[in-house]
Amino acid sequence: MGVYAKSTSEVLALLDPRTRSAAIAFLADSADEHLFQTVWLSINRWLDVDETTIAVIRARATAEQAKGIQSQFSAIAFPMALASRGHIKDAAARTAFPALVAQLALLGAISADSGAQVARSWIGKPGEGHLFLGAMLAAARDTIGIQSAIRFIEGRQRSLPPNMPAIALDVLAYLNATNQAYLALARGDSAAALRHFDARPDSACFGGCWIDDLIHVQLLAARGRLADAATRLDRPLGGFVGGIVPFQVLRALERGRVYERLGDREKAIEGYNLVLEAWRNPDPELKTYVDEARAGLARLSAEKKAS
């Protein structure tokens, strides 16, 4: 009924090649914010060959720009949708959102040194940058930057008033433990990094540790702890995720790798398939990942024929 009947009608129009263009135009120029959001929640995980999700939000962002406005959709959801479908360079030019900037940096949309420079600028600043800077600094082997972040967090822990909510204490403890893991990684000590990751209070990141979780899984797999890696890969991403995120695609690739080694063919295929569906036309920086997923599917298909 009401707006939900209209949103359903627009989703159906997007599915029909005969009405797709008109639906995109309506959603860009005429749909109010509530209607657009309702449609978006239905389509934001689509990975169709026509990239309908990107077409819709690109048209909306273009219409907003012509009116001199910028919504949260065009500022955050648009670059997230681009990056999740392999267009990381375009996404990087459109965002300063720490959660996305960190993923783009680790995917190669910006250099490790440039990523580290951005990450250092987040140290001591309000906002969520501290949740994501460790991985970026570790990628650049920036031990000094990580140590600076650790000192800041430890200073915050010492200076908190006694009536501070428990959630604040938990987040600071999480950041401290994770930064210790990244400091070990930056020093080239993966064994120590894994010990720190194993010990981190990972429920205290409150949905903000997609990158940390994936790196933890990669370290577990590298050490041959495949069952532990698989257990983590089977957990859903924390927090509310408005659509697919770039590291969810890398997580799918890791599922393919881990479950292929464990001999679970169906789960491995599921992981590799998501990579190929999401990154159908990726930027060159992602070609290695796509090639690996394609090769994995070829191996598993050959095994099935042989059996």
Written as six digits, the tokens of 200 are 């981190």
Q: Which residues contact 142 (CB under 8 A, 6 or more apart)?
A: 116, 119, 120, 186
Residues 164 and 79 in one domain: no
Residues 128 and 179 in one domain: yes
Residues 68 and 198 in one domain: no
Residues 276 and 127 in one domain: yes
Residues 65 and 183 in one domain: no
Residues 76 and 96 in one domain: no
20-51 pLDDT per residue, tens: 999 999 999 999 999 999 999 999 999 999 99
**CA gap 135, 146 in Å, rounded:** 9
Per-residue pLDDT of the chain (307 residues; tens, 9 = 90+): 777 899 999 999 999 999 999 999 999 999 999 999 999 999 999 999 999 999 999 999 999 999 998 888 888 899 999 999 999 999 999 999 999 999 999 999 999 999 999 999 999 998 889 999 999 999 999 999 999 999 999 999 888 888 888 888 888 999 999 999 999 999 999 999 999 999 988 777 777 788 999 999 999 999 999 999 999 999 877 666 667 889 999 999 999 999 999 999 999 999 999 999 999 999 999 999 999 999 999 999 887 776 6
How confident is the model at residue 165, as a pLDDT? 82
Task: Report the CATH number that the domain containing residue 137 is assigned in CATH.
Answer: 1.25.40
How confident is the model at residue 240, as a pLDDT? 60
| Boundary-marking domain end, from 31, 51, 84 | 84
Q: How many domains does the chain contain in total?
A: 2
What's the domain range around 225? Answer: 85-306
Residues 189 and 274 in one domain: yes
Q: b/e map of 31-60 (b: 16 or more CB within 10 Å)?
A: beeebbbbbbeebbebbeeebbbbbbbbbb
145-184 pLDDT per residue, tens: 999 999 999 999 888 888 888 888 888 999 999 999 999 9
Residues 134 and 18 in one domain: no
Residues 116 and 252 in one domain: yes
Check: pTM over 0.85? Answer yes or no.
yes
Residues 176 and 110 in one domain: yes
How confident is the model at residue 276, as a pLDDT? 97
Residues 80 and 103 in one domain: no
Q: b/e map of 218-234 (b: 16 or more CB within 10 Å)?
A: bbbbeeebbebbbebbe
Residues 79 and 89 in one domain: no
Residue 298: Cβ-neighbour burial (10 angstroms; 0-12, 13-18, 19+): exposed
How confident is the model at residue 242, as a pLDDT? 65
**CA gap 262, 111 in Å, rounded:** 34
How confident is the model at residue 209, as a pLDDT? 86
**CA gap 43, 60 in Å, rounded:** 14
DSSP H or E run through 155: helix 143-159
| Boundary-marking domain end, from 42, 61, 84 | 84
| Boundary-marking domain end, from 57, 84, 111 | 84
Q: Are 62 and 28 in contact (CB under 8 A)?
A: yes
Sole residue written with tokens 């955050």: 76
